[in-house]
Amino acid sequence: MTYDELMSIIDKSRQDDWIFSDERGIYTYKNDLNIRIERPDIDHDADKFSGEDWATRHPDPTAYRVIYEIFYGASFVKEIFMVSVDGHRATLPLPDRKTLTITRQQYRFAQIVDQLGTLDDYMKRAGLEVKE
């Protein structure tokens, strides 16, 4: 499998294409068990994310950087940086700072890891838009 093939599979997948273990922070792709996404535990001191209004304008202004890691078998493929906002009620893609836009690929990935179903509501609240 090539990098482009793997990223295309992830981009075209939906949340229900993945087996999720919240306790382990692991997503496994049902159609190819070699593909997985891992969410390491957040270090609440080291991973604080501040200084950007879109991330802190929520009832709980504390935000944390979250790094998702994509693997194929034992091979590390890519890191995806996101931000957990409002007491971990949503995880948002890291937007372009000037335009507050994200790519369609970022949005599709965020849909996969949106376990609470809050992505779209929090994107509106944060002022984030998908650029076409």
Mean pLDDT of the chain: 95
Residue 51: give the domain boundaries. 3-130
Enumerate the β-bridge partners of residue 80: 68
Q: What is the pLDDT of residues 65-105, one digit of tens each?
A: 999 999 999 999 999 999 999 999 999 999 999 999 999 99
Q: What is the C-alpha separation between 77 and 73, in angstroms, rounded?
A: 10
Tens-digit pLDDT profile for residues 17-38:
999 999 999 999 999 999 999 9
- Sign for the CA dihedral angle at 112, 71, 78, 86 comes to positive
pLDDT at 40: 83
CA 94 to CA 19: how far, in whole Å?
24
Q: Can you read off the two tokens belonging to residue 32?
A: 């190819």
Q: For the CA atoms of the chain, what is the radius of gyration? A: 15
Domain count, the chain: 1
pLDDT of residue 119: 97
Q: Is the pLDDT of residue 59 over 80?
A: yes
In this predicted structure, the answer to whether residue 46 has a pLDDT above a threshold of 90 is no
